[in-house]
Structure 1
Amino acid sequence: MHPFRQIFQFKSFATRMSVYVLSFALVVFAVIIVLFYSYSREKVTDYAIKSTHGQLYNTAIEINNLLQTVETTMYQSVWTIEESLNDPDSLYRIIAAVAENNDLIESSGIAFEPYYYKTKGKYFMPYVSVINKKTEYSLLGSQSYDYPCMDWYLIPKLLKQDYWSEPYYDQGGGNFIMSTYSLPLLDKEGKVYAIFTANISLSRFTTMIDQLKPYSSSFTFLISRNGSYLTYPDHEKIMNETILTDAFTSNNTGLENVGQEMLAGQTHTAQIKLNGNPAYIFYSSIPHIGWSVANVCPPSIILKDLDTISGQILFGLLTGMLVLFFVIHIIIRRLVKPLAAFSESARVIATGRFNVKLPEVKSYDEIKMLHDSLAYMQQSLFDYVIKLHETTATKERIESELSIAREIQMGMIPKTFPPFPSRQDVDLYAILQPAREVGGDLYDYFIENDKLYFIIGDVSGKGVPASLFMAIARSMFRSFSRHTDSPATIVSGMNNAISENNETNMFITLIVGVLDLHSGELKICNAGHTLPVQVSPEGKVSLIEARTHLIVGIMIDHEYTNEIFYLEKGTKIFFYTDGITEAENAKKELYGEANMIKTLSANSQQDIHAIVSSVICSVAHHVQLAEQSDDLTILVIHYEPNNQKQERN
């Protein structure tokens, strides 16, 4: 063997793999470069956004301050106007001072209500403009310049508050593109008698906006409250087009969204396309007047330096990765070669052929460990499949037996409703839903000598033991009921019989009752069961406060007594097991007695089948997807003695 190969020939597979992993360091380096570029790109972009927004904010503040100086000048002149109202010609001096003392104000005027000065006629608007530091005086107002109908006059008059108008060309007034600040003048009665105006030329902002160029290829524009371009590199769009009409014309949804946000007074950054080219647009509002200023900059300018450096690094990285690709390819081929045979063997084992012979391995490294692990897995799978077949057969047999047991159990309880179709004096409906295949709840009933015997009970525990106990209890009820009409005697007999040989310590809560269908006398013996509910003919729902005795199966010769009640015509008695009130939802919240009574009250005038269905639906709505934790059993008796009498007559 060549000496160089001897140096790098390791018996341990892990050692060889560790050496090979070092070759992937270049990949890690490439990932770091990509992450660094992404991080740098984000930081450069964030800096550009913050820097540009900072400049836009400063510009907006500057414009805002200039506009506030106009407002301040106007407010400070109001009192002089009020003192000079008796001498209308002296008003020229006041508005001249306003225009001369504020460089931003090109002209100013006071537009009085028509016929305010009867000697001056319908229109009277003294007006002063300062052009090239020369003050010119004029009087506005005529049929061709009907200022009471203009926006700058009407809006502040109606609102009774100051107002900045949309920019417009003042034909017949200032004769330039201007925005008018209107300040309504009110008399002592709160009525507007004149509008005090100051006009500023938009040309005053053009230089300020044009100088805002954070990047050489960027440009800045200003829009008004309704979106009209006030400044723009394409001068034909100024006052002739809005940002929204520009977006609609070019079918540019990105510009449309930006326009909507600018008109809403928002400050934000968006990446859109202008004339088919990507561009960042930074915009900020001038809240004082409702205008917005925006700067448009191509992303390539912002990331120009970063992209240049990143391109050089990427070229070097791609060259290195190309070389590394061939190295990794050779390494992987060498590593995979001894594993291919094991892969094929594993596929054969997965098809169920556990006796397939594994390839031989002569080395003693991790490949040998893999061979031994596959051999162990092969044997373990064989043993597991054998046990699985046995377990499946046993499970199927148990499920079959449980299914038969359920059929036998459900066959023991009456399920035909109405149970006594030939009788009109009583109706009865019941339902039993086991939580498992078989359960421990029970109900039963029969009529003998015009007396309705019934039972409802809940055996402790669940499953097969409880179902057997339930079958025994049901048989005892039938047996003891043949010899007496006293529920207490029936319960006593059942208790003594069950308690005598109760080695499993199981017990049952139950209610046994006997209803005399002629007199309406209801005798009940409650052995630890939930209290029944009575629904009166008028629909009033209340608990039947019957004495609760010791549960059945605990103590021999315990004394049980009857509780006697007399039922009115139309009375319904609702019996249930605690699987109703203790039904839990996913949050472990109980359905509760209050919810049950609320549901019964809402459906008290329904027939007994509808009442049972409403309670079951209410419980299901409470439980939702939670698993049923206990058997649900309901028994409802509706007593209607007069129906039978009418039938007999």
Structure 2
Amino acid sequence: MKTKKRLSIRSKIQIMVMAIIVVALLITSTVSVISMLRIRSQAKDILTARMERNLSNTVVNKATLANAELLRYAEYTKALSDYISELYESPEKYKPREVLPPQPLDNNKEVMKRYLATREVSYEDVKDEIGLLGNAEQIFVPVYNSDISNIVAIYLSTKSGIQISYDADSEMTANSDGSEVYYNYYGRVWYDLAREKGQVCFTDVYMDDYNRGMMITCAAPFYSELGEFKGVVCMDMLIDDLYSAIVDFDVLAGDGDYAFIVDGKGYAVLPKYKDLNIKDDKEMNDELIEAIMSGETGVTYSEISDCYFAYSPIESTNWKLCIRVPQSMILEPVQDMSSKILTSMVWFILIFILVIFMITAIVRSFALNFTEPLFALRKDAEEISNGNLEHVAKIYSNDEIGDLAVSFNNMAISLKDYIANLTAMTAEKERIGAELSVATKIQEDMLPRKFPAFPDRHEFDLHATMDPAKEVGGDFYDFFLLDDDHIVLVMADVSGKGVPAALFMVIAKTLIKNRAFMGGSPSEILEYTNEQLCSSNDSEMFVTVWLAIIEISTGKGIAANAGHEHPAIKRAGGDYELVEYRHSPAVATIEGLHFKEHEFELHPGDNIFVYTDGVPEATNAENELFGNERMLEALNRKKDSNSAEILDNMKLAIDEFVGEAPQFDDITMLAFRYFGKQ
């Protein structure tokens, strides 16, 4: 009987490694060749799909940038509106500044000038108002000369028939004798649009009255202290300038690709278009025009022009950003790709053959030197894996296997150190957790949590809760009786979270309560607290505060709001509504602050709901905010519930909206219901 030929470990390793490598290479080569052939055949579809994705991403990104640029115009216009509203609210603070009609000698000079809407408007009747509005030059000039270099004119037009403009076009409008100029702006699109919307808005494209070209206007209304509409302030921009500022960019750095903006009426903003409405563009079919005007984001191919059009809305306006790319630019790389694929396949086969020979030689040499120390290392590994961390592996050679033996020895040492460190870290983590638990308990004990808080008082019902985002939070609430007829309500939110915010919260809460018992109005309490916190606020933290003092017998109250959320109030038989008024700055921001006060009166059956920003800014998994509308909807769902039920219902609504998303901010709420004298 013949003895079976014995194969050495070296031979077995050679055969096994070579077989695995050859099979792996064959499989890899086959898959690679098939993939390259498929890519070659599908190159057009792949490139087209990729270009559509890139175009879609590009148009969305560019629309976002364009929106940001337009928002800069809107922010400047809003600042103009706020300043002019301030003129009407506090005219006694400003000296009259005369504004003349347009003068011929002022051509090409940026100057203030006045117009009257109609001949029925007498200069003598509006002389004082013109003098007051002349102070607008203090903000018109810096805005006109700001980094927005494409402003043609800044002007305001009042309900009373006054228009004051700052521009360099006096020659276009001035009479030769410098007499009064009349310009009836009533019914102009920018005037009616801003008055009806009640906010900053953009007009569609229109032809300028002075033939300077196609124009758009950013307009915003301004109001008196009582909220009465007083007029509109505007900034005019030429379409060509606007195109250069936000649309003029290369898409693929080729010929025939460009970007343009389409307004709400379908007019395209691009030098080649000028007055052209895209509905009259022979390059576009009805399906493409409808897609662009729909306000959706997408990419559509037009067979008429053999071009792709990508489009996306600009959120701050009714406009759409569009990009046109010829199909030839997309498919141009296909032929080049096909040639490169064939070349790559040839090189791949040659490299494959070379690799087989190289691997054969390497495996033979590797197997010869590898087997003996490998088994020793296996035994060393088993010894260490069994828990003998004192075992030392023998180093046979000064190569990778020798390095591996050193690594085994270092691993044993590292494991010992790791176990020791892990033990220490676990103990430290448990200690920190215990201390945070104590801190949480201390913070909870500082807030009044016993309800009903005043069981012997039947004139009102109140309840409050605080749910921190971390173990300890920066929100806090408080309520306490100053005397038998006055109760103080406090809702506050410290900047930041965690332990620093909690420490700042303790100081702020203590200062507010102590100062309240010393007497004084809400503004005086906040002014004292502000001075104390500013005196040693190296960390530059601040706290927003809503503080109210209510006379229980009459329901009359005084509140001060230092940068905090608007409270919601429900009158008896009505719905919850936000009470919005101008805030003062947050406490601990600037020394010497004075805080405005707001008087109110509660009647039997009225409710107040105050909260921190953790309520409207609660965020779900889709990154949507809970918002004020959902908050009011939740309040009004069971609006006649008692104070505790109101807070429970609100927390339930927030939890249902947020779902599994983590809580990022403290959620603090207080509900107060007034019954009146019993």
- For normalisation by structure 2, the TM-score amounts to 0.46
Larger Rg: 1
